[in-house]
Amino acid sequence: MSETPQPADLIVFGGTGDLSMRKLLPALYHADRDGRLAPETRVIAMSRGGLDDADFRGKVDAEVRGSVPVDDLDTWQRFLGRLHHVTVDIGGEDPAGWARLAGMLGGYEQRDRVFYLASPPMTFGPFCREAHRAGLVTPASRVVLEKPLGRDLASALRINDEVGAIFEERQIYRIDHYLGKETVQNLLVLRFANAFLEPIWNSLWIDHVQITVAETVGTPGRRGYYDHAGALRDMVQNHLLQLLCLVAMEPPSRNDRESIRDEKVKVLQSLRPVTGGEVDRFTVRGQYTAGESGGVRVPGYLDEPDSTAPTEDSHRVETFAAIRAEVKNWRWAGVPFYLRTGKRMSHRCSEIVVQFKDVPHSIFPGSTPNRLVLRLQPSEGIQLNIMAKEPGAGEVALKPVPLSLSFAETFTGRVPEAYERLLMDVLTGNPTLFMRRDEVEAAWRWIDPILDEWDSQGTRPEPYPAGSAGPATAHELVGRSGRVWHEEGQA
């Protein structure tokens, strides 16, 4: 890994799409502004769009400039100058398109070359084959695969085989942008750079763990993707399971690319399978109906504006999922991990809540929070909720109070977006925060039986109004054992 930026060619397949315009290009601009791109580095967007370089730069100027801080026009112009566009139709035979790309890359074989596939998973294999056929895959090439990798284990295996036939595993970067979030990385530091947590980080002291990723956004304009994904594939298989791995993993022997991933995969392999009749007991799926979100009336999933009309798939797809998971090993035996994610929830809130057990014998009335909350968003931070005495004479009155670390207040520098961090890792060749093949496959192996059971039941998800806390059954899922979901603002 080198600290001096090396010249690179970043080829973004799907380069004019939503992900590219909203996340990748702003992240690259920030990196450029901070001097972390070599002067020669180029960003080549590939699409069917028929644009030339000037058209593409104009599009980025119109659509991206407003979302990034452009404090000096020279830097912005320098960034635009790095951008190129090449038209290739990967769906059809398009040797001329590939030849155009080959022409642009010719003579730069020694540079780091990154193919970023911001496209649906079924295009990954064909893309790699075509790029290879066009002679573009050099030893210094890497390929970045966006999630979800496939739609079940079988398709993930196929895609991994297809991509693996062209690229070696060391060249393959499977991205999960949650691993680039500051709090997520901080979780590793919190656990493994402080001695006090480790002795109590186990089933003797921890009652349960909750991992919530609640979004207020719906899915307008995403029906084509979302109908075939759903919350389980879109969020749980990757983001939530990755968070679970970081909470549950054993201390790695080193902070390097393989040690951390080795420990994560062991967690995934230790997940107790949820199959057959257990699926109904341990999982909940919901779909939002019309409601009020942020003071505004919003439509239900089926009535979201879209270019296509809802189908039977739309009726069946879940926009909310909750699961009671268990990690079957010595450290975690008997500790439930509750996972929950949903669109159009009442609050935007992503957090990991570690609930410690009650004191063995309480001399004060009332319950004790004993809770560690790692907040990923909206405001990143770590909170330890403890019990304290309310000042005053007379009866001792207890009050839950937070010991709080707000990243924004403690670290005043700019907090980079997850994609920025991860893109820089790809450019410098550091795969630590990317998913290895066996990790992705182990995650699907656990998810598949739940999907199969949901499919075979042929029933529809439970409705919940937009702007609510999700379906009622999700509360029963934790309530059965006398627990409750941690809610926004709760100490």
Active site residues: 239
With respect to ligand BG6, which residue has the nearer C-beta, 51 or 323?
323
Nearer to ligand BG6, 215 or 380 (CB): 215
H/E element, 115: strand 112-117
Contact residues toward ligand BG6 (CB under 6 A) are 215, 234, 350
Whether the Cβ atoms of residue 278 and residue 477 lie closer than 8 Å to each other: no
Residue number, 186 or 350, with CB nearest to ligand BG6 = 350
> Measured on CA atoms in the order 344, 346, 349, 350, is the torsion positive or negative?
negative
| Residue burial 177-207, b: 16+ Cβ < 10 Å; e: rest | bbbbbbbbbbbeeeeeeeeeeeeebebeebb
- Residue bearing tokens 């295009």: 123
3-state secondary structure (DSSP) of residue 289: strand
Residue 269 main-chain phi, psi, to 5 deg: -70, -20
Distance (Å, rounded) from C-alpha 143 to C-alpha 428?
Answer: 13
Using the minimum distance from each CB to ligand BG6, give the nearer residue, 233 or 371: 233
Tokens 């019309």 correspond to 290
User: Would you say 22 or 357 has its CB closer to ligand BG6?
Assistant: 22
Could you tell me if 382 and 399 are in contact, meaning their C-beta atoms sit under 8 angstroms apart?
no
Of 23 and 371, the one with the shorter C-beta distance to ligand BG6 is: 23
Q: Report in angstroms how near the CB of residue 215 gets to ligand BG6 at its nearest.
A: 5
CB 350, min distance to ligand BG6, A: 6
Q: How far is the CB of 196 from ligand BG6 (least distance, A)?
A: 29
- Least spacing, CB of residue 219 vs ligand BG6, in Å: 7
Residue 246 CB partners (closer than 8 Å, separation 6+)? 184, 187, 188, 264
Which residue minimizes CB distance to ligand BG6?
Answer: 234
> Taking the complex as a whole, how short is the minimal distance between the CB of residue 131 and ligand BG6, in angstroms?
24
Minimum distance of ligand BG6 from residue 17's CB (angstroms): 13
DSSP codes, 396-417 = --EEEEEEEEEHHHH--S----
> Residue 107, class by beta-carbon neighbours within 10 Å (0-12 exposed, 13-18 middle, 19+ buried)?
exposed
